[in-house]
């Protein structure tokens, strides 16, 4: 299972314990993790200085919405999935097309869902 | 001059004579008196007075009665018979005391004891034949009967007057009920004109008394948009109520300012007259904006709670996953996972105590080490430093990290032997680049230490947590005489004094 092999994936997650799990899941799928960034600012900094092929973003980073990071990724046509504990409704009002994955994470299907989402984004014009 | 004097003397004499006559009449001392009529002077005797009096009395709308001083009815007119609901034959000759309520006996007595004192009045309750009681006003008039001392009285039915009084009192009452209502209440007449408003309605719609309802909601209201929709809904409701159809609790919104939306419950009900036909309607507007705002707050809180629960579940999931990766067997998994779960729960307890705003560093450390601090001769000694507050995520991360250090010490380090000790303390260092919090975990008197072959969940959690939560650095020193972990984190909005 190396669906994400060779991809550099930015992780933005403010809870350290959760970020360790996301990191492990991505590493297991063959990806290289950029971050994890615990705040919007540090995620933006990482985007400035590091090459990124995709991103896994927690919707709420320490009370801040991920919006600036998602917008920056969109403008660079970098695919991303959004993780949230709020349920998809709130995220969809901001990013109707984004793939939303719920917390707690469906561990078995996580890497596959990220992979499919990235592939679908790449297929779009 | 002399003529004038004699004229004055003559007038004075006539005046005295008339006053004597009046006094005699008032005192009942005369049997007859002389009056100027249109056919010249006329003598009225009691007997002579009886006939015209009778004619007059019969035609009177009010009841008239002549009573002997013991209450015997000497004469009564048709109106009295109607009032009492009895034929005159049964009234005349009977005693009026038989036809009055016991409570009125005293009043009647006071009139009859002074039979000739005209102009007295008192209220007497009559008992009518159909069993009803009828309040009346009895006013005595002096028309003396020929032979016996008697009093003639006019009996006025007070029922209508009472009804009017009650009506006006109940109207006043209803008016003040409407005025004092805390809701906006508007009363319209049958044609839809506003006749009454509560104070709350006035402050909402200004004074719209006299206006037609169709204009009230349009003109009197200051709402910038939605006013048309609101007015048409309100007008429809009023129209329906005036047709006898009540409208209950329609939710209407109106914009007070472009930012502030106000919510109302609109009701309109017909006011029925005695024939059960609509004689008007009553409209109420209940401001439910506060309730609505509370509902929105509630929803936000529920969302926030859901978010927090899901994040906590994700943390538990991560703990389970990492424990599963490192535990050699199921028994080790159970005990490690249970310990980590409890450490997480203790960190949450601390945060809940402070409304999930912050937690004190000393409480976080003590909470994480709670299983090892049993009071008395503790193997772990905590040396308190300055008061430092932590944000929720930082508190959870640090608490979990300290828990990991303690479990490692219990498995492989100082706490795995009977002699080993741990000292935990923190201090503030003032450096040129800013203030730094230094947290030191130092083990001593334990087994000889060597660096582990691979990094476990605990050390990753501590290093990652200190770095990402606080922008700090962790140094792990596996020196042979005892493991030492030093975390240096800058004072920031996540860890502050």
Distance CA B160, CA A98 (A): 81
* pLDDT single digits (tens) B342-388: 999 988 888 887 777 788 899 999 989 988 887 656 788 899 999 99
Instruction: Answer yes or no: are the C-beta atoms of B192 and B213 closer than 8 Å.
Output: yes
Q: Which residue has the tokens 């002699």?
A: B419
* Stronger pLDDT, B128 or B217, i.e. the higher one: B128
**Pairing mode, strands A8-12 and A54-58:** parallel
Give the global pTM.
0.62
Evaluate whether B199 touches B219 at the Cβ level (below 8 Å): no
CA distance B315 to chain A (A): 5
From chain B, pick out residues whose CB is under 8 angstroms from the CB of A110.
none
B81-123 pLDDT per residue, tens:
988 999 988 888 889 899 999 888 888 888 777 655 566 788 8
B295 contact partners, CB below 8 Å, separation of at least 6: none
CB contact under 8 A, B322 and A21: yes
Q: Does the domain spanning B327-496 belong to CATH 3.30.565.10? A: yes
- Length of chain B as a residue count: 497
CA distance B105 to B107: 5
Confidence (pLDDT) at B377: 65
Burial class of residue B486 (count of CB atoms within 10 Å of its CB; 0-12, 13-18, 19+): middle
Structure confidence by residue, pLDDT tens digits, B413-445: 999 988 899 999 999 988 888 889 999 999 999
Q: Over 50: is that where the pLDDT of B31 sits? A: no
With a CB-CB cutoff of 8 Å, which residues 303-322 of chain B face chain A? 303, 306-311, 313-319, 321-322
CATH number of B179-287, picked from 1.10.3430.10, 3.40.50.720, 3.30.450.20, 3.90.650.10: 3.30.450.20
DSSP A64-75: EESHHHHHHHHH
Chain B residues with CB under 8 Å of A21 CB are 314, 317-318, 321-322
Residue that the structure tokens 């007859």 belong to: B32
Mean pLDDT over B453-460 rounds to 83
- Are the C-beta atoms of B279 and B189 separated by less than 8 Å? yes
pLDDT, residue B30, reads: 44
Give me B50's structure tokens.
Answer: 């009886």
Lowest-pLDDT range, B1-15, B39-53, B127-141, B256-270? B39-53
Residue A71 has pLDDT above 90, yes or no: yes
Contacts B317 to A, Cβ<8 Å: 21, 104-105, 107
pLDDT in tens, A13-59: 988 899 999 999 999 999 999 989 989 999 999 999 999 999 999 99
Which residue ranges make up each domain of chain B?
Answer: 27-157, 179-287, 327-496
pLDDT tens track for B190-207: 888 998 899 888 887 778
More confident residue, B116 or B70: B70
Instruction: For tokens 């069993």, name the residue.
Output: B131
Q: Which CATH superfamily is domain B27-157 in?
A: PAS domain (3.30.450.20)
Rounded CA gap, B15 and B186, in Å? 65
Domain boundaries, chain A: 8-123
What is the dotted CATH code of the domain comprising A8-123?
3.40.50.2300
- pLDDT at residue B224, as a whole number: 44
| Helices then strands, each counted (H, E), chain B | 14, 20
């Amino acid at each position: 299972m190396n669906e994400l092999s060779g991809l550099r994936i930015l992780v933005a997650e403010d809870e350290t314990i959760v970020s360790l799990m996301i990191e492990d899941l991505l590493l297991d799928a063959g990806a290289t993790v950029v971050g994890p960034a615990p705040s919007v600012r540090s995620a933006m900094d990482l985007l400035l200085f590091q090459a990124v092929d995709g991103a896994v973003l927690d919707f709420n980073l320490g009370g801040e919405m991920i919006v600036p990071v998602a917008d920056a990724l969109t403008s660079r046509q970098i695919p991303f999935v959004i993780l949230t504990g709020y349920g998809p409704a709130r995220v969809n009002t901001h990013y109707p097309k984004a793939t939303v994955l719920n917390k707690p994470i469906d561990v078995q299907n996580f890497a596959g869902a990220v992979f499919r989402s990235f592939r679908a984004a790449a297929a779009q014009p | 001059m002399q003529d004038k004097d004699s004229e004055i003397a003559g007038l004075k004499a006539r005046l005295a004579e008339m006053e004597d006559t009046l006094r005699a009449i008032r005192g009942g001392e005369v049997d007859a008196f002389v009056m100027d009529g249109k056919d010249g002077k006329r003598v009225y005797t009691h007997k002579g007075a009886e006939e015209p009096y009778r004619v007059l009395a019969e035609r009177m709308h009010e009841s008239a009665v002549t009573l002997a001083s013991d209450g015997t009815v000497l004469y009564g007119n048709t109106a009295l018979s109607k009032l009492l609901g009895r034929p005159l034959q049964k009234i005349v000759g009977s005693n009026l005391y038989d036809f009055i309520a016991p409570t009125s006996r005293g009043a009647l007595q006071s009139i009859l004891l002074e039979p000739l004192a005209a102009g007295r009045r008192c209220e007497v309750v009559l008992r009518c034949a159909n069993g009803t009681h009828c309040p009346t006003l009895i006013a005595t008039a002096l028309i003396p009967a020929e032979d016996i001392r008697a009093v003639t009285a006019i009996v006025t039915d007070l029922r209508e007057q009472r009804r009017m009084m009650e009506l006006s009192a109940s109207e006043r009452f209803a008016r003040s009920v409407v005025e004092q209502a805390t809701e906006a209440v508007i009363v319209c007449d049958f044609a839809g004109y506003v006749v009454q408003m509560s104070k709350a309605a006035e402050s909402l719609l200004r004074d719209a008394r006299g206006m037609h309802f169709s204009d009230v909601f349009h003109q009197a209201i200051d709402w910038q948009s939605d006013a048309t929709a609101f007015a048409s809904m309100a007008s429809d409701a009023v129209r329906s109520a005036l047709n006898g159809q009540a409208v209950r609790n329609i939710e209407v919104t109106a914009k007070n300012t472009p930012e502030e939306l106000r919510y109302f419950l609109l009701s309109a009900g017909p006011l029925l007259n005695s024939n059960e036909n609509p004689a008007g309607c009553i409209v109420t507007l209940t401001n439910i904006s506060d309730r609505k705002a509370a509902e929105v707050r509630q929803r936000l809180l529920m969302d926030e709670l859901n978010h927090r629960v899901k994040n906590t579940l994700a943390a538990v999931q991560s703990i389970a996953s990492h424990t599963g990766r490192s535990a050699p067997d199921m028994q080790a998994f159970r005990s490690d996972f249970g310990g980590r779960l409890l450490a997480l729960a203790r960190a949450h307890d601390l945060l809940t105590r402070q409304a999930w705003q912050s937690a004190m560093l000393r409480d976080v450390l003590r909470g994480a080490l709670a299983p090892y601090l049993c009071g008395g001769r503790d193997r772990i000694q905590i040396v308190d430093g300055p008061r430092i507050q932590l944000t929720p995520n930082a508190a959870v991360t640090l608490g979990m990290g300290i828990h990991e250090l303690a479990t490692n010490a219990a498995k492989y380090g100082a706490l795995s032997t009977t002699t080993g000790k741990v000292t935990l303390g923190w201090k503030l260092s003032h450096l040129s680049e800013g203030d730094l919090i230094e947290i030191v975990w130092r083990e001593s008197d334990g087994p000889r230490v060597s660096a582990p072959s691979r990094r476990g969940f605990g050390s990753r959690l501590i290093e990652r947590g200190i770095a990402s939560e606080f922008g700090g650095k962790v140094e792990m020193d596996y020196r042979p005489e005892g493991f030492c972990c030093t975390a240096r984190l800058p004072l920031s909005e996540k860890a502050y004094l």
